[in-house]
Structure 1
């Protein structure tokens, strides 16, 4: 068995690398997908493909269309979604991606620190598992491959 994992949400720290390294250490048969992690490329892709936009709002909308296409396609190809909510950044992308995963019927592993329990309680209830660390998320994935 091989599992495709979409790593959803914020791109401002190395949590994806941590998950990939933990999975590699455990020799788990996983492939990973996620959003464009190059923030400048993500912000500018609309103009790179569609040309110069009239104003910053139009530029954001053009980039959003392409980033939403990428997210939807890669999330649909995934078997499970991991969405991380952290301490430092606004979590709009994480919330949107986690909600999309639920809407698409994808199993969801939610990573969030204990102090975000209250604001994320409804989303946590819709996730299959809620954990506090990337290591715990990988342990959830590893359990899927246990036979004894």
Structure 2
């Protein structure tokens, strides 16, 4: 059984690589997809495709439309979504992706530190499982294959 797992969350740390390496070490049959993790490309894709925009707001809007389309397609194809909330970065995109997974009725594993319990309590209640570490999420993935 092959699973397609969408990894939602901040793009500034190596948490995706950590999950992918651990899944590979466990020989889990998983393909991973994610939002565009090249921050520069994500921010500039609108102008790359649609041409120079007149100001920063329209530049952001153009990029957002294309990034949202990409996310929607990949998430709809996903069998499972893992959304990681860290403490260091603002997490608006992660919250949006986790909410989209819930709206699409995609199984959702939420990873968040205990310190973010209160601000994420409603979202956590809608997720299928909430854990505090990448290792706990990997154990869930492994359990699926037992």
Q: Do they fold alike, i.e. is TM over 0.5?
A: yes
TM-score, normalized by length of structure 1? 0.98
Deviation at 1:32? 0.3
Structure 2 stretches of 5 or more lacking a match? none
Q: Which whole-Å CA distance do the structure 2 matches of 1:32 and 1:115 have between them?
A: 27
Does residue 26 of structure 2 align to residue 17 of structure 1?
no
What is the root-mean-square deviation of aligned Cα atoms in Å?
A: 0.5
Q: Determine the structure 1 residue equivalent to 2:93.
A: 93
- Runs of 4+ residues deviating >6 angstroms: none
Deviation at 1:9? 1.8
Q: Determine the structure 1 residue equivalent to 2:135.
A: 135
Q: Determine the structure 1 residue equivalent to 2:61.
A: 61
Does residue 63 of structure 2 align to residue 36 of structure 1?
no
Q: Equivalent residues in 2 for 1:98-113 (5 A)?
A: 98-113=98-113
Structure 1 stretches of 5 or more lacking a match? none
Q: Determine the structure 1 residue equivalent to 2:118.
A: 118
